[in-house]
Structure 1
């Protein structure tokens, strides 16, 4: 008797079961986001920061524990400083909006209504948007500011847990690599080397993406400063943070300064700011970044965009920031599955041969452990 798994009906059932299981897994990941997100964030911060630890051991001959502590202190200072700076700028922005930008907005809005009234559209727009006071009221401003400050304070609150986890991950990194070498040598798991290589690729991606995002933030700050757009430092920080989100992040980061330029200087200033953001993102996002990264992960661009939406739905902003590295690990898992390998092949985009910058990989101290002195290359 023929098994149902060899018939079209059996294959259809297997596909339906796979889809149902995927939805269950995604729902579980979303439900456990408060527990999983700090672990995921700590893991990727450890991967991105490990070159600092390696460099301190290799060039300054720090013992491993001291190099780990110094790396964590650097990350702690950066994250806490960024959180407090955003919180401080959000308070100033709230005051400035109420005292300066709200009267300007009301004037621009009334001019727009006069223009629309000549074409018989003012009533329709007012029904949809309301009055200028309704759109930019003190209550709306405070709610937006409170939300921004709440996110910043919430980010600071989980930073302690993230850094504690990161300390342990960095401390165990050399031992992890040593264990990978032992497993590979004993043929205990033939695909573990591929997983370790994927982690090195993610490490390169995070380091290079951080440098590109930092450059984007500096250029955005310079553009806003030159065009006299208020709170240029804040828009530079926003451009830096959102540049980690493929495509969508750059668009969202450009909207506030463009609107502010339109409010203060008019259409010409808004066009110049918009053009400046386009040039910055095209030069870095479509020029330098692909040159450095190539297509090393082998994932189609459309799949990257869909993964941003999916992981943003599951884990919020952190999921959007880490959508690409997470998708790489998921693709690797699919490649090593007999039943789901076809999915990995479908979303595959052959990598280019552009060489990547030399970044210190995970290192091990075979036979000595992580605390037996500096690494010997």
Structure 2
């Protein structure tokens, strides 16, 4: 009886899959080290166009980087101070939520009983613990203060990356066997990621400001917090804007009623339609080259691998992987699967 013979190509595939599993496992266990480095790298990519602009105006690169980082630190301090004040106010007003939530539950209880659903408002009210919300806010503020040292190291890494940019092409060319093709692929990846991150940051900033203005106009409490949430979650494709709208809608539903909640919901729908479905696709154009399914799956994969930062950076990370596959001998087929062939 003839023994099965493993082909050379099959053995290569098995070895590559095994290496991939080992690499992904290592990245997952080393996420505490890998995530800050990746985040610093993408922050440097976002800031490098501003540095290049100042350099073109005959400002020394060291001075340009110093001015930019100083401006970012000043802006971060002001934002964190405003955010801390709002979170403290949220913690102080948390006990009001218990009494406010009991009234809607009492109104809903008869309707649920008519449908055959037995619900006790007294039992449900026991699970509404305002002290838990206050404890959550306190823990968040403590973690925020403890994270200042990590933020300092992150910004220091960004500074060194920005100062290293002029020497980086020469170093990379010396490492490559085919420097012309390799540098072309790297430049394409950098251009695509820079194009995406800069435009996405600008659109997210405008989205957060408009959401803040809209909520302040409707006299919604903690509008600044919800504007910051809208700015941060807008980086998450597909579902980020939906997640950002849930907390303020629930808050208005509890304190203001259904009509006010529907008004806030309509405002968020208008913002998402304008910026997410009309403005962003027009500005981004065909820069991504990724199918919608791949964007959603990349959100799940990078979120599992790198946590929340992976979700925020899922699209640029997938763009880099796609371009790397396009320039490898065995990865062109996978790159085609990742591409959006519906666009010309």
Aligned to 2:89: 92
Aligned to 1:5: 7
Distance 2:129 2:36 in 1: 36
Aligned to 2:28: 30
Is the 1:296–1:352 contact (alpha carbons within 8 Å) kept by the matching residues of 2? Answer: no
Aligned to 2:168: 176
Q: 1:250 aligns with which of 241, 244, 249?
A: 241
Aligned to 2:103: 107
Aligned to 1:140: 132
Is the 1:300–1:349 contact (alpha carbons within 8 Å) kept by the matching residues of 2? Answer: yes
Whether 1:210 aligns to 2:210 is: no
Is the 2:238–2:296 contact (alpha carbons within 8 Å) kept by the matching residues of 1? Answer: yes
Cα distance, 1:192–1:88 mapped onto 2, change above 3 Å = same
What's the TM-score, normalizing by structure 2? 0.90
Cα distance, 1:138–1:101 mapped onto 2, change above 3 Å = closer
Long gaps (5+) in structure 1: 354-377
Aligned to 1:152: 144
- Give me the CA root mean square deviation: 2.7
Distance 2:88 2:330 in 1: 53
Cα distance, 1:154–1:293 mapped onto 2, change above 3 Å = farther
- CA deviation string 1:305-361 (max 9, x = no partner): 1111111112211111111111111112222222232111111114967xxxxxxxx
Is the 2:195–2:287 contact (alpha carbons within 8 Å) kept by the matching residues of 1? Answer: no
State how many pairs are aligned. Answer: 342
Distance 1:120 1:154 in 2: 50
Long gaps (5+) in structure 2: none
Give SS of 2:94's match: helix
Distance 2:174 2:21 in 1: 36
Which piece of structure 1 moves more, 318-327 or 172-181? Answer: 172-181
Aligned to 1:44: 42
Distance 1:301 1:253 in 2: 20
Is the 1:201–1:296 contact (alpha carbons within 8 Å) kept by the matching residues of 2? Answer: yes
Task: Map residues 215-294 of structure 1 onto 2, 5 A cutoff.
Answer: 215-294=206-285
Which piece of structure 1 moves more, 156-165 or 16-25? Answer: 16-25
Give SS of 2:49's match: helix
Aligned to 1:131: 124
- CA deviation string 1:141-199 (max 9, x = no partner): 13432443355335433111111110111001122245567889x95352222112211
Is the 2:233–2:240 contact (alpha carbons within 8 Å) kept by the matching residues of 1? Answer: yes
Structure 1 residue 235 displacement after superposition = 0.5
Structure 1 residue 271 displacement after superposition = 1.3
Aligned to 1:78: 75
Give SS of 2:214's match: helix
Aligned to 2:294: 303
Is the 1:221–1:235 contact (alpha carbons within 8 Å) kept by the matching residues of 2? Answer: yes
Cα distance, 1:15–1:158 mapped onto 2, change above 3 Å = same
Is the 2:204–2:235 contact (alpha carbons within 8 Å) kept by the matching residues of 1? Answer: yes
Q: 1:122 aligns with which of 118, 121, 131?
A: 118
